Every structure is written in C-alpha cells, then in structure tokens.
Amino acid sequence: MLRRAAADRLLDDEIAPGYVRPAYEGRSFGNVPATVGSLLGVDLDGQPLSSEIVPFERVETVVVVVVDGFGFEQYERHHADHGFFARMTDRTPVWPLTTVFPSETATAMSTYMTGRMPVEHGLIGWNIPIKNTVIESLPFETKDGTDAGEALGIERDVLREGTSIAEQLHNAGLETQQVVPESIVTGDAAVPSVTQLSYDDLDAFSGQLRAAIQDADGGFVHAYLPHVDTVAHEVGTSGTGYRSVLHEVSAALERAIGGVAETTAERTLLVVTADHGHVDTTPEGNVDLLQYDVITDAVGTDAHGTPLLGGGPRNVHLYTNDPERVRDDLAGAFGEGEALVVLREEAISSGLFGPGDPSGTFSRQCGDVLLIPHEGCMWHGGEREELQHTGMHGGLHPHEQLVPFAPIRLDELTD
C-alpha cells in the first residue's frame, strides 16, 4: 500500500519551487536510527519516526535493509514487476520519507550509522577538501588513489563526528550484525558485539542475511545493497539493465527471508528503505563549471591541480573569501529553475542540513556557497566521468529526495 498522499504532502514543503525541504522532524531517513533504538527499547541519538509510520510495540530483532539509490519514485514505478517488492507493497504500508541533504550516500549513511544529522556529524558529501587536498570520503582516498591517512596524516574519523549506533547499542547490551559487501570496511568491526558478515555476490548476500536473522538473539541487523545505485548511475532508472538488477535484488531478498524459521519470523521486524533516489540526467546536457569565470576566479586548486570543490555534481560546495559576491554572480549565471544558490548561513538557518548546532567538523567541511542544480549535474571537466553518468543524486529534486520506508513483521511477509 503506497502512501501516495503522504508523498504529496512532503513534496508540498519546498525550499524553493522544485526543491524539496528534508522533513527531519519525524519523516526522514535521518530518523531511522532512533526508531531502531525505540523498537529495541534503547534511547539512541536522534529523533524517531512518527508513530503513524512505525506503529509497532517493542520487538526482539529489527532488520533494516538499505537498498542504495532506490527512491520512492522509482519504487512506485517498478515495484509491481518484482516479486519481493510487490508482496511487500501488498501487505504493509510503504511510506515516503525524505532523505537528508545532501542526498548522497556518504552523508545519508553517516546519519544512519550515528543518528546525527549532517549539521552535527559534518560529512557533507563525496568530495571534501582538507589540508589543501580533495579527498573522496567513503574510500578515504586522494584523487590519485592514495590512502588519505598516509598522504595527509589524518584518521578517517576526522571527517565525521558521532558515536556509531552499533556502539550505542553495545553499551545497552544489544548486538549488531552487519551484512555488507566485501569491499566495505567499517570501523564498527572493532566494536564489541558487532559481527560483520560480508558477501561478494547476491547469492552470498541471501545466505548471509538469512543467517544473520536466524542467529540474531535480539538486537539490530543492518543489510546494505549497493547494486541498484550502481546500475542507475550507469544507465538511469528506466532501461532494461536497471529492471534486470531490480529483479536480481528482489530475488535475493526472497531467498533470504524464505529460509527463516517461523518462530524467528514472529519476533523480527523487517524494514526496507533507501538512502536516496536518483534523477535521470542527460549527460550531454551536464555542465562543466570551469567554463564560467565566476567559478575559476572563486575556486582555487589543490597541490595536484584539482579544483577545490566539495560535495558532488548535484550539491557543489564552493569555498571563498567573498561568498556574497560569488552567490550573486552564480545567481546571475544560473536561474533558479536551473540551480539554487545558497549561502552557508542561509542553508543552516533554513534547516537544510538538519536541526542541531553546527559541529566543528561541519563548519570546517561545509562550503561558503552551495550550488544545487535542479535536474542536471554541474562539476569540473577534470573529472569528465562525473558528467557522463545518467542517474545522479545529491540535491533536492523529488526523485532523489523521497525514499520508501516499508516496515513489516517478518511472519506477515513469509506466510
């Protein structure tokens, strides 16, 4: 049961025409961590979702499956053609949430992993200038592929503030299991009571998720699937390749829950959600920012000649000593229908990065001026591949901002 009317209400609240305001006060992906805690009887950082969305009493085990990049619009358009998602939609309300800003995995998953909003944890996107070098936040590498810790003498946690919810749950006596791709390494692996189950393909994912659910003695199971996001970047959200990957992901989830014992299913709440959606862009229409004098005049380069831009192609952070002039020049170059130009102080006061006081990390990493395209992408031509993607995300467009949230007791899905 798709809650379409709830989606329309979220879309009615705009920063500017066509730019959705994140609903941090109880209807956001950022409210999921505290909701997990509430269901398990533990106070975690953050605010839980509205009780209308999660009308459940305490449960023994909460399983959250994050399908990276599978936004509400894409779910609404495709769910009926894929067995797991079709059955989920028939048997439980599928609510729309907004994600956070920026609608990037690095930012949204940092909120999900800590319960802190972007203004508090401070990780504002994929690209972060630090020590006069642009690093890529999730792989924690410089642009030439060097480990940022080795190159700059910093630790990974310098990019993000907050205690992980895995550690918070451990302190409350509860276990966390994480089902993640082999390529993902997290600091949570060193936290007591955290078990990481890795997989290298979707068959292995099914087995690992089933084992995690079956073996859980209460607590939290987090499962992460990057496949939909990857294919959307390559081909967009409408073609055969995208539908094929959705079919494979749906089948993997079917296999995972199909082997769970009935007694386990009765005490397990399953949630399927996403960290962001996608906007389908036209690569040939995406914009190389370096063709504009206002950009080249305002933005310096790092030691390798890389422009000191933060964020990504749908949420560009500019660092400048004269933000008001740059804001005015950018507003002259791009109309509001093409891009939204916002000063950092305006973004903070409007709640764009969430409630709370700006942390030191946020203040250091957030740009002075934000350039948020409405539909296309804007980046520098030195990274031409960033302008060649079809599906993209990071901004405030409805297709990237709204994500599904489908909670169901597992026995109601498997009977």
* 42-51 LR contacts (CB < 8 Å, sep 24+): 42/168, 42/169, 42/172, 42/174, 44/115, 44/165, 44/168, 44/169, 45/114, 45/115, 45/116, 45/162, 45/163, 45/165, 45/168, 46/111, 46/115, 46/116, 46/117, 49/97, 49/405, 50/26
pLDDT mean by block of 10 residues, the chain; 415 residues:
96 95 97 97 94 90 98 98 97 98 97 97 94 91 90 91 94 95 73 87 97 93 98 95 98 95 94 98 90 87 85 96 93 86 96 96 96 93 86 97 97 89
pLDDT digit string, tens, across residues 24-70: 999 999 999 999 999 999 999 999 999 999 988 889 999 999 999 99
- The one-letter amino acid code at 21 reads R
Alpha-helical segments (H) within 21-134: 32-39, 72-78, 83-91, 105-114, 118-121
Nearest to 102 by CA among 129, 120, 126: 126
Residue closest to 126 by CA, chosen among 113, 115, 110: 110
What whole-number distance in Å separates Cα of residue 168 and Cα of residue 162? Answer: 10
149's tokens? 């810790």
Q: What is the CA radius of gyration of the chain?
A: 21
Secondary structure of residue 392 in the 3-state scheme: strand
Residues present in the chain in total: 415
pLDDT digits (tens, 9 = 90+) for 350-380: 999 999 999 999 999 999 999 999 999 999 9
Helix/strand/coil for 221: strand
Cα–Cα distance measured from residue 43 to residue 336, given in angstroms and rounded to the nearest whole number: 41
- What angle (nearest 5°) sits at the alpha carbon of residue 52, between those of residues 49 and 55? 90
3.20.20.30, 3.30.420.10, 3.40.30.10, 3.40.720.10: CATH of 4-123+160-280+398-414: 3.40.720.10
- Amino acid identity, residue 171? N
Torsion of CA 110, 159, 280, 314, to 10 degrees: 130
Domain ranges (residues) in the chain? 4-123+160-280+398-414, 283-388
Q: How far out from the chain centre does Cα 157 lie?
A: 18
Q: What is the pLDDT of residue 298?
A: 84
Contacts of residue 212, defined as CB under 8 A and 6 or more positions apart, other chains included, come to: 63, 177, 179, 195, 197, 221, 223
Domain 4-123+160-280+398-414 and domain 283-388, same fold? Reply is: no
Single-letter residue type at 226: P
Task: Write down the pTM of the prediction.
Answer: 0.96
**Is 231 in a helix, a strand, or coil?**
helix
> Looking up tokens 């004269």, which residue turns up?
322
What is residue 305's predicted lDDT score, i.e. its pLDDT?
82
Question: How high is the pLDDT of residue 116?
Answer: 97
69 close to 393: Cβ distance less than 8 angstroms: yes
CATH of domain 283-388: 3.30.1360.180
